[in-house]
Amino acid sequence: MEILTVSEMTAADQAAIAGGTPGFALMRSAGRAVAEVAGAMAGRGRIVVVAGRGTNGGEGFVAGADLAARGREVSVILLCDRATLTGDAALASAQWTGEVLPCDPAALVRPNLIIDALFGAGLNRPVKGDPFAMIAAMNASGAPILAVDLPSGINGDTGEVMGIAVEASATVTFFRRKPGHLLLPGRIHCGEVEVADIGIDADVLDTIAPKTFENVPELWADIFPSPQADGHKYARGHAVVVSGDLTSTGAARLSARAALRAGAGLVTVASPRDALAVNAAALTAVMVRETDSARQFAELLADKRLNACVIGPASGVGERTREMVLAALHAQRSVVLDADALTSFTDDPQALFTAIKNRSDPQVVLTPHDGEFARLFSALASSHPHASKLERARLAAVQSGAVVLLKGADTVIAAPDGRAAITANAPPWLATAGSGDVLAGIAGGMLAQRVPAFEAACIGAWMHGEAGQEVGPGLIAEDLPEALPAVLRNLYDELGIAY
C-alpha cells in the first residue's frame, strides 16, 4: 500500500545495494519481470524494445535478451549511440547479441508488442526531439505497449504528461508504486499495473518512512469499526446532517442515509422549519429536528451524544451556514464540511481555519472538488502554481488544520501531519449529481463511530468507490447508500470480521 516518490524509490534501490545486492542484479530482476509479462502479452509475434540510455533502457535490454533466449523474435531500438552507455545499462546492453536499431520511428515495423523502456519514472523535463517522435510513433502503431516502470513521458511524482506520453496497455513497476501510477492523467496512461518483487527487502521502508499510501483496506483495517455483540445504537454514535431550505433538502437526506448505512447508530437531520414537513415525509429511520438558527443548532449539540456533524450538502451559501459551521466547531464535534459550507467561507477562509485550529481535537474533514478547492485555497494557486494534486492537498491540510479530501477520479486525502492517500477505485459513473453528498455522509458516519478524521475520510472515499462499482452503469446518487450493505459484507469478509 506504500507509494514511493522517485527519490524515495532511489533511496530504496541504494539501500538494497548497500545491503549487498548489486545494482545490476536489481536491473536483471526487473528486466526478467518485464519479460514474463511481455511474453504473455505478445503471443508469438515480433516484440520491439524501445530503450533509453539509463536504467530503464538497461531493463529493456535485459527483457529483450531474456525473451530472445526463449526463442522470441525481438528487436531493440536504442535512443542513443550504444557506445555511450555506461554503468549497469552498459552491462545489460552487453547481454544483447542481436542488432541494435537507431532511434527511427520507421523501425517500428508491424510489432505484436512494444516494450517502452525509454525514460521510466525519473523524467522531470518535457519530451522533445527524437524521443517525442518515437513516443508518437509508438502510440500510433496500434500495437499494445508494455511500459517499464512508468510510461515514458509521465512524471513519476505528479502523474503529469511531460509534453507527450506513452499510452501503455500495461505497466510493470518494481517494489512499490509511485504517485504517477495513481494520479491522473498518469493512471490512464499506465493501463494495468503489476508490481514486481526484484529483491528489495521491505525493511528499507522503515528507514524511508513513506507518508503516501494507496487508499486500500490494509491502510485502515486496524481501525475499521465493526458492531459488537453487546453494543447498542448509542455506542455507534449519532450524526447530525444540516439541511437546506424547502427547495434544497435532497442532498442532506442523501448524506443522512449514507451516514446511517455506513454504521452510525443514529442520524438526525437538522432542518429549517419550512422544510420540516418535506424532510419528515421522506425520512423513516432518520430523525428530523427543527433547526433554523445557529443558536438552535448549538442547543441541539448540547446533547453530547450527538458527536458528529455533516454540514454543506445544499445547506445554502451564506451567514446561516457559516454560523452553523462555527457552532459545530465550537462544540468540539467531529465535522465533515462539504460544498456550501466551504463556499460560505470563500471571502474569509482564515476565519474557518482559525476556528479549526483553535479546537482541542480538530477531527475535521473538508471535502472540496477542484472548483471549491480553488475558491477556498486561492492563495495556494498563486504561491504554488505547479503543485500536483497530491502536493496541493497536503499544503491545504497544513494551512487549514483539517484533513482535506480533494475529490475526483483520483481523490487525494491529506492530513496536517503529512500523511496522504490516493484513491484509485472510483468508477466514472460516480460523476453524477448528489454523489458527493453521499461521500460526505459516509465520512460523517465513520466520524460518528469515532474513527479519526484521516481514516474516516479514507474509508469514506474507498467505500464510495466500491459502492459505485457495485451499482455500475446507470448509477444515480440514491443507489449508493443502498449498495453499502454489499460493500460492507465484502469488506468484512476481506478483513475477517464476523457478522
152 is in an annotated binding site: yes
Question: Which residue among 210, 226, 246 closes a domain?
Answer: 210
52 is in an annotated binding site: no
Residue 183: what pLDDT? 98
- CA-CA distance, 52 to 153, in Å (whole number)? 12
Are 16 and 148 members of one domain?
A: yes
Alpha helices in 47-175 (DSSP H): 55-69, 87-94, 129-140
For the chain, what is the domain count?
2
125 is in an annotated binding site: yes
369 is in an annotated binding site: yes
Question: Which residue among 157, 188, 210 closes a domain?
Answer: 210
Question: Which residue among 188, 210, 232 closes a domain?
Answer: 210
Radius of gyration for the alpha carbons in the chain, expressed in angstroms and rounded:
26
59 is in an annotated binding site: yes
Find the helix or strand (DSSP H, E) in which 13 lies.
helix 6-18
120 is in an annotated binding site: yes
Strand 403-406, strand 364-367: pairing? parallel
410 is in an annotated binding site: yes
Cell numbers representing residue 415 in the block = 492530513
Q: Is a pLDDT exceeding 90 seen at residue 377? A: yes
Are 221 and 318 members of one domain?
A: yes
Are 138 and 232 members of one domain?
A: no
Residue 297: what pLDDT? 98
Are 274 and 151 members of one domain?
A: no
126 is in an annotated binding site: yes
Query: Which one has a higher pLDDT value, 226 or 65?
Result: 65
What is the value of pTM for the model shown? 0.95
418 is in an annotated binding site: no
317-323: long-range contacts, CB 8 A cutoff, minimum separation 24: 317/343, 317/344, 318/344, 319/344, 320/293, 320/294, 321/242, 323/293, 323/294, 323/297
Nearest Cα neighbor of 412 from 450, 454, 353, 363 is: 454
435 is in an annotated binding site: no
Are 334 and 442 members of one domain?
A: yes
Are 205 and 236 members of one domain?
A: no
CATH number for the domain harbouring residue 403: 3.40.1190.20
Q: Which pLDDT band holds residue 6 (cuts at 50, 70, 90)?
A: very high
Q: Which pLDDT band holds residue 60 (cuts at 50, 70, 90)?
A: very high
Are 152 and 271 members of one domain?
A: no
Q: pLDDT digits over 265-318, tens only? A: 999 999 999 999 999 999 999 999 999 999 999 999 999 999 999 999 999 999
411 is in an annotated binding site: yes
Q: pLDDT digits over 457-478, tens only? A: 999 999 999 999 999 999 999 9
Residue 101: what pLDDT? 93
| Angle at 423 (CA atoms; ends 421, 427), nearest 5 degrees | 175
Are 221 and 203 members of one domain?
A: no
473 is in an annotated binding site: no
253 is in an annotated binding site: no
Q: Which pLDDT band holds residue 322 (cuts at 50, 70, 90)?
A: very high
Provide, rounded to the nearest whole percent, the portion of the chain with pLDDT above 70.
100
Are 186 and 243 members of one domain?
A: no
Q: pLDDT digits over 400-422, tens only? A: 999 999 999 999 999 999 999 99
91 is in an annotated binding site: no
Are 252 and 177 members of one domain?
A: no
460 is in an annotated binding site: no
Domain membership of residue 489 (yes or no) is yes
84 is in an annotated binding site: no
Domain interval for residue 274: 217-495
Domain membership of residue 1 (yes or no) is no
436 is in an annotated binding site: yes
Q: pLDDT digits over 114-156, tens only? A: 999 999 888 889 999 999 999 999 999 999 999 999 999 999 9
